[in-house]
Amino acid sequence: MSKEEVLKDIMQRYLDLVSRTSFRILCDSVDSEAVTVDVFTSVWAHLDDFDGSVPMRQWILSLTVRKSRLRIARRRLMYVFGRRPDLYFTSSPKVLDQDDYITKLAWETYCRASSGMSSVQRIVYTLSVLEQLSEDEIADVTRLSHHRIRNAAESAENRIKAELEKYGRADSYPEYKKFLRKVRDDITEKIRVEKEIRDIAQPPVP
């Protein structure tokens, strides 16, 4: 199998995971798209060095987490210098029916709460609550200690509950999580990103 075919296979298996995870961490379609392209660009660049000592899924998620953290840092820097006033832009899911409308409200609540979270809290909450990874899996992906993972998850949940409390909905948090897990990025964006990534693997025209 050629390197181009290997990349195509990896994209088919993990594009949705990378797009979804980065979108949930960043609350922003534009930044999520950039991270997704960065992740698979790195995969392409380092594919020959991948020896299988860690599972492919763990490697992909580790890249996604690293690139997302860099994107958060970049966003904050741009905010400090006044180049991007919307520090935590919310890209809301499309509303098609009542169920989607509740999901949209849940997502907007999460994005408002995440504006006060550290990048570690955002990442841990995304991996533990939204992606439902185990504590051991999160430790493998992030290299964080179990103690720090538990603290970050608790702090993130407390921020979200405090946001819900503003609307008298703190008791609805368990149901809120179910709707939040339904959030997906726009599939049309992923199709465009997929084309951009595939262009990376195209050999130059002589």
Q: What is the pTM of this model?
A: 0.85
- Mean pLDDT along residues 82-110: 67
Same domain, 135 and 197: no
Residue 98 sits in a domain of what CATH number? 1.10.10.10
Same domain, 33 and 55: yes
- Gap between the Cα atoms of 58 and 139, Å rounded: 10
Distances (CA, A) of 45 to 7, 11, 38, 40, 41: 10, 14, 10, 8, 6
Does residue 187 register a pLDDT over 60?
A: no
- Mean pLDDT along residues 68-94: 68
> If you search the block for the tokens 């520090």, which residue do you land on?
87
> What was the pLDDT predicted at 148?
97
Does residue 54 register a pLDDT over 70?
A: yes
CA 80 to chain CA centroid, Å, is 23
Same domain, 87 and 105: no
- Mean pLDDT along residues 108-116: 88
Per the structure, how many domains does the chain have? 2
Same domain, 164 and 137: yes
Same domain, 85 and 122: no
Same domain, 85 and 100: no
Same domain, 68 and 10: yes
Annotate 141-168 with three-state secondary structure: HHCCCHHHHHHHHHHHHHHHHHHHHCCC
- Mean pLDDT along residues 154-173: 91
> What was the pLDDT predicted at 91?
63
Least confident among 41-50, 87-96, 106-115 = 87-96
Same domain, 191 and 154: no
Same domain, 97 and 152: yes
- Gap between the Cα atoms of 50 and 46, Å rounded: 7
Domain of residue 126 covers: 92-184
